[in-house]
Amino acid sequence: MSDSPLSHRKIIHIDMDAFYASVEQRDFPEYRGKPLAVGGSPTGRGVVATASYEARKFGVRSAMSSRKAIQLCPQIIFVFPRFDAYKAVSRSIREIFQRYTDIIEPLSLDEAFLDVTQDKLQIGSALEIAKQIKKAIKDELNLTASAGISTNKFVAKIASDINKPDGLTFIGPSKIETFINNLPVEKFFGVGKVTAQKMNNMQLFTGADLKKLTEIELVKNFGKAGHFYFRIVRGIDEREVQTHRETKSLGAEDTFTYDLSTVDEMHKELDIIAETVFRRLQKSQLKGRTITLKVKYNDFTQITRNFSYTHPVGDFETIFNTAKQLLEKVDMEEKTVRLLGISLSNFGEPETKPRKPRDPEQLELF
């Protein structure tokens, strides 16, 4: 790794600390020092978007239902999101980044990758640049950020999560191998609870354990992601910081005020969601070949089903009808539904190899 030209890259990952909640606590002094959740009301079907660190001490986390949050922390304060305010702060943060580099890859309003291999101010040290960025965010915006610095995106992103909030972690080329060897598999990008449990069942608990498997073995057990795992446990991540990220998918989803129990109810909601997706596709001038249906049950388990066409589609009728057909293939298992979503992806060029048209009743489910 240390002999590779890529080892000379200087990548910073900046991640704002409890961003939405921190903005609220900054703007409204009465919230400071108190457990706070930004999200939907606990009296409805709301979900926590961000929790302050005071709330996290009680186990409140992002994506948790608001009802669950108030059970864990009865004194928690709920506020609705002010996205215009968050976007304005995000623009100010980006302006700070641009003092040092134009090679910026925003991942969301509150985090971004920066390539400072050649920085504008000729500082030369990524660690020093990260320190200056954190200080500017604190002094000018009265917010804190955590920074991870390394030679690739994978390690930099994980490093930024160490010592939060207000963390600063540098993992140099000579430290990457040891860092990844000791890294729990749950921390690897793309490893969710199900995959982590599968790895644990195979006695794979750390990067060092994953490194014992061949690439063929990793692909056999984990599909295409196995190629990524094989390279990343060896510290190989050649992904560049992309100033213009390609849109991978576009969609919409809705969490309902009450659980849906009949197909007619679900069709009515899919109609509305499909219309939203259609309008967003038109606005973005995109068409996709893969339509995905997302279903979340009342017990918070969720599944996805998708179908790929041989040609790009983007009209409302195709989106809506495909979603309905995919829903027919879903086993409701006597559960009710709290969320439905539709998304389109695979915006690239269509396949050149012709495929025999399939009957709608023969949709492929994955």
Instruction: Yes or no: say if 252 and 273 are a contact pair by the CB < 8 Å rule.
Output: yes
Pick the CATH number of 249-347 from 3.40.640.10, 3.30.1490.100, 3.40.309.10, 1.20.120.400: 3.30.1490.100
Residue ranges, CATH 3.40.1170.60, the chain: 19-83
Residue ranges, CATH 1.10.150.20, the chain: 176-233
**Cα–Cα dist 209/211, whole Å:** 5
pLDDT confidence of residue 117: 96
Closest CA to 303 of 273, 276, 275, 331: 331
Tell me the catalytic residues. Answer: 111
Res. 6 pLDDT band, cuts 50 70 90: low
Residue 254 β-bridge partners: 340
19-83 — its CATH code? 3.40.1170.60
Q: What is the pTM of this model?
A: 0.72
176-233 — its CATH code? 1.10.150.20
Q: Residues 120-160: pLDDT tens digits? A: 999 999 999 999 999 999 999 999 999 999 999 999 999 99
Please say if the pLDDT value at position 364 is more than 50.
no
Residue ranges, CATH 3.30.1490.100, the chain: 249-347
The H or E element containing residue 164 is: none
Q: Residues 174-211: pLDDT tens digits? A: 999 999 999 999 988 778 788 899 999 999 999 999 99
Annotated binding-site members for Mg(2+): 15, 110
Annotated binding-site members: 15, 110
Closest CA to 343 of 276, 284, 282: 276
Closest CA to 191 of 182, 204, 175, 177: 204
